[in-house]
C-alpha cells in the first residue's frame, strides 16, 4: 500500500508532509479516546487526502468534516474512527453494510477491517467517484449499489454490522430486519437534534443505546 500512498500523495500535491500530518491525526485520535488499534492502523494506512478535492487536500487530516460535492461531506476523522470502533467493539464482523458511500473513505476503512463490504449511495456521481478511489487503492472486497439507504440491501444480508454515514429521522425498520442475530447497527438519528445510536440484535430482540450528540447530513429518500 505504501507505493500507492506515495502515488496519491504526489497526485494531490501533499508531498512528504502527508505522512507526518497523518500520524498527528492518529495521535490526536488516541488522545480523544480511540483505543482500537485495528481502527487506528487502518486509518494510518489510508491516504485520506486522496478522497477529497485537490483544492482542500491540505485539510484532509484536520478533525473536521469537508465538502465532497452534491451537498455531502466526508465525516471528520474522529467520527469515522468512533463509529468504526463501536461497530467492531468485541467483534470482527465478516460482512458489513454501509449506508451512504459518499467519497468512499469510511468504506475504505471498513474494507481494511472486514472481509466483505456492501455500500449504498443514492447519488450516482458520488458512487462512481468512490468506486474509482477504491479501485485506485486496490480494494476488491467492496460491492457498490445505487440505492435508497432507508431500504438497505436485503439481497446481500443478513449483515453482522451496519453503519450509516447519514442521519435518519427514525431508525429504518429495514436496517434492523437485515441485521443478523449477534450483529450491530451504528447510526445517527434525528433531524435538528441528532444522536448516535448503537443497536444490537440478540436472540431475544433489539437493544438500543443512545450515545453522543452528532451532526450529519440527512439520510434523504429516493435516488439522486
The residues that are catalytic are 75
Neighbour-count burial of 154, counting CB atoms closer than 10 A to its CB (0-12 exposed, 13-18 middle, 19+ buried): exposed
Q: Distance between CA 25 and CA 21 in Å, rounded?
A: 6
With cell 450528540, the residue in question is 213
First to last CA, the chain: 33
- Cβ atoms within 10 Å of 108's Cβ, excluding its own: 26
Q: Distance between CA 122 and CA 217 in Å, rounded?
A: 13
Residues making up the chain, counted from first to last: 224
Going 183 to 168 to 148 to 121, the CA torsion angle's sign is negative
- Cβ atoms within 10 Å of 149's Cβ, excluding its own: 28
Amino acid at each position: 500500500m505504501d507505493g500507492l500512498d506515495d502515488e496519491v500523495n504526489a497526485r494531490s500535491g501533499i508531498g512528504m508532509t502527508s505522512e507526518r500530518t497523518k500520524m498527528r491525526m492518529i495521535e490526536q485520535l488516541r488522545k480523544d479516546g480511540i483505543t482500537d488499534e485495528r481502527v487506528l492502523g487502518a486509518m494510518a494506512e489510508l491516504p485520506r487526502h486522496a478522497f477529497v478535492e485537490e483544492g482542500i487536500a491540505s485539510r484532509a487530516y484536520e478533525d473536521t468534516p469537508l465538502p465532497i460535492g452534491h451537498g455531502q461531506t466526508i465525516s471528520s476523522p474522529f467520527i469515522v474512527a468512533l463509529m468504526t470502533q463501536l461497530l467492531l467493539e468485541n467483534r470482527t464482523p465478516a460482512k458489513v453494510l454501509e449506508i451512504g458511500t459518499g467519497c468512499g473513505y469510511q468504506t475504505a476503512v471498513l474494507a481494511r477491517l472486514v472481509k466483505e463490504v456492501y455500500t449504498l449511495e443514492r447519488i450516482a456521481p458520488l458512487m462512481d467517484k468512490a468506486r474509482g478511489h477504491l479501485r485506485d487503492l486496490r480494494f476488491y472486497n467492496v460491492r457498490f449499489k445505487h440505492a435508497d439507504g432507508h431500504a438497505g440491501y436485503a439481497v446481500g444480508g443478513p449483515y453482522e454490522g451496519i453503519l450509516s454515514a447519514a442521519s435518519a429521522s427514525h431508525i429504518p425498520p429495514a436496517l434492523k430486519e437485515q441485521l443478523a442475530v449477534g450483529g450491530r447497527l451504528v447510526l445517527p438519528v434525528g433531524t435538528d437534534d441528532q444522536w448516535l445510536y448503537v443497536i444490537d440484535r440478540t436472540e431475544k430482540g433489539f437493544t438500543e443505546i443512545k450515545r453522543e450528540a452528532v451532526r450529519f447530513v440527512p439520510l434523504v429518500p429516493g435516488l439522486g
